[in-house]
Amino acid sequence: MTEQQYQAWLADLTVERILLAELEHAEGVEYVATAPYISRPTDSVPNRPYDDILNQAVDISTRIDGLISFGDVSLLDDGRLESWLGRAWTGHPIRLYLGGPEWSLDDFRLLARGRNGGVTEARRGSLTFAMEDESRILDEVIDTGELPDDAGPVPLVLGSVYNAPMPRVETTSVTYRASYLALTGVTPKDNGNPVSYTADLAAGRVTLDATPVGEVTADLEEAHNTPPLIAQWVAGQYGIAVAEIGLPAYRVGLYYSGEVTGRQVLDDLCAGLGAYWYLNALGELVVRQHQAPTGPADLTLVSDEIVYDQLTLAETQAPWKSLRLRWGQNHSPLNQLAGTVAANQPEEAARLKRDWNDSHATQAVGDYPLAESAERDSCIQDAADAATERDRLLAIRSVRRDVWEIEAFLPPVSVGDVIAIEHPRLAGRLGREIGVTRSPTRGVSTLEVWV
């Protein structure tokens, strides 16, 4: 079956569907389904039976806030599953496949991949597991090694970082460990004044030529200096496949002196870029900037496809009258500066003392006296990039935005899709999917649409 044929089958809401589940545990794999199924002798895995005890279709919810959730995996238990209670299920993979009852197993498509959260209920006639998304692995702390004398983790530097502290790692020489990752450039400073040095960029180490008289900091350059490069680095660090990275090539930087996880890096990367990330149902990383809904639409939703009385205004968002986007973070503001800096470089001296640079703009929203004055921190490092992103975010919020919840009979739709809604309440307006919950066997989707 070709991908085009499979998509056409998905779009037909009258066809019979079967959900297959493969539940791994410490001792092996169990194969269950929503209806009796056995693979064909000619399949790549021939004559594999799937026990028809999968009682509940697993609803899949995806949102632009990075959250994906699954319904429980509920099995019918006629007494044969009692021995399953003693098995080690937690943390082992669950794979879901969707197809038709007469299909070859090789034509089924992987619908979702997750982790077993363990048994949540065991009672007469039923055994239930929690299914959790793969993003849990991003909560593991990135191992950057340890500084001497229990001084904490080696700092993680990603991209361009301004005025970061440098922990000293040698007592017999003035040597500092600036970065866990290799650096492409470094400018060490003593009370803000650049000083001479010798660097081992591959090891992220710097040795000053003379003993400093004040606080030692440095401007650091590391190779992952754009949002796409940082997102790809995180994915590679955790062995995650990348489905899509739709981020601009701004010059950015992130700095961590303590423990940090992949989730935190992605959150900090997206925070000031009007962006969002999630792992899709297949466990692949998706990172995008939030965009206003503009045509052409990926899908048109008509009134007859909406479940009766299941179109509800859930939230109204007033426009922004101003935005202050902070950029170019100073990671070690200085109270005392070298005299040469204070006397000869007033702009640099002022920057060394403040935490952030600001990019501020306003817009006319006279119909909304309570319009929001928004503020955001970003990892952007250049003024021009900050102004570009500031203006983009303001334009998105130049008008009132509404969030509608809609339950509809639809083929699969994805977070980020643009949808045209032909209904009297919305008069053909365009919206963008910011949340989708779908039952794979019923063909019903619950949508959160931002218009």
17-60: per-residue pLDDT in tens?
899 999 999 999 999 999 999 999 999 999 999 999 998 657 77
More confident residue, 164 or 416: 164
Residue 274 pLDDT exceeds 80: yes
Q: And the tokens for 205?
A: 């180490």
**pLDDT score for 68:** 66
Domain total of the chain: 3
Alpha helices in 221-322 (DSSP H): 227-238, 262-271
Neighbouring C-beta atoms of residue 150, cutoff 10 Å:
6
User: Do 158 and 216 reside in the same domain of the chain?
Assistant: yes
How far apart, in whole angstroms, are the C-alpha atoms of residue 434 and residue 436?
A: 7
Confirm whether 357 is domain-assigned. no
Give the chain's mean pLDDT: 92
Q: Which of 180, 195, 222 is the last residue of a domain?
A: 222
Domain contains 356: no
Assess if residue 362 is contained within a domain: no
Evaluate if residue 389 carries a pLDDT over 80.
yes
Q: Which of 70-84, 317-331, 369-383 has the lowest mean pLDDT?
A: 70-84
Per residue in 151-178, pLDDT tens?
Answer: 999 999 999 999 999 999 998 899 999 9
Picking from 222, 252, 268, the residue at the C-terminal end of a domain is: 222
pLDDT at 8: 85
Across the range 419-442, mean pLDDT stands at: 86
The reply to whether 311 and 441 lie within a common domain is yes
Residue 65 is predicted with a pLDDT of 64
Same domain, 45 and 105: yes
Lowest mean pLDDT among 62-71, 101-110, 233-242: 62-71
What pLDDT, on a 0 to 100 scale, did the predictor assign at position 48? 97
Q: Provide the pLDDT for residue 329.
A: 98
Residues 312-346 have pLDDT tens digits of: 999 999 999 999 999 999 999 999 999 999 999 99
Mean pLDDT of 429-444: 82
Q: Which domain holds residue 202?
A: 148-222
Residues 207-214, mean pLDDT to the nearest whole number: 95
User: Mean pLDDT throughout 288-311?
Assistant: 91
Provide mean pLDDT across the span 2-25. Answer: 88
- The DSSP symbol for 182 reads P
pLDDT at 116: 93
CA distance 335 to 342: 11
Q: pLDDT grade, residue 71 (50/70/90)? A: confident
Name the one residue in this structure whose structure tokens are 């929203």. Answer: 365
- Residue 366 binned pLDDT confidence (cut-offs 50, 70, 90): confident
Kindly state whether residues 167 and 199 are assigned to the same domain.
yes
Q: Are 115 and 180 found together in one domain?
A: no
pTM of the model: 0.84
Instruction: Using pLDDT thresholds of 50, 70 and 90, give the confidence band for residue 392.
Output: very high
Assess if residue 236 is contained within a domain. Answer: no
pLDDT score, position 135: 83
- Domain for residue 143, yes or no? no
User: In the chain, pLDDT over 90 holds for what percent of residues?
Assistant: 76
DSSP 330: B
Same domain, 89 and 39: yes
The verdict on 110 and 155 lying in the same domain is no
Specify the pLDDT at position 445: 85
d(CA 146, CA 158): 18
Q: Are strands 93-99 and 109-123 parallel, antiparallel or unpaired?
A: antiparallel
Q: How far apart are CA 449 and CA 429, in angstroms?
A: 11
Q: Do residues 15 and 97 share a domain?
A: yes
For residue 232, the model assigns a pLDDT of 98
pLDDT in the model for residue 440: 67
Whether the predicted pLDDT of 395 surpasses 60: yes
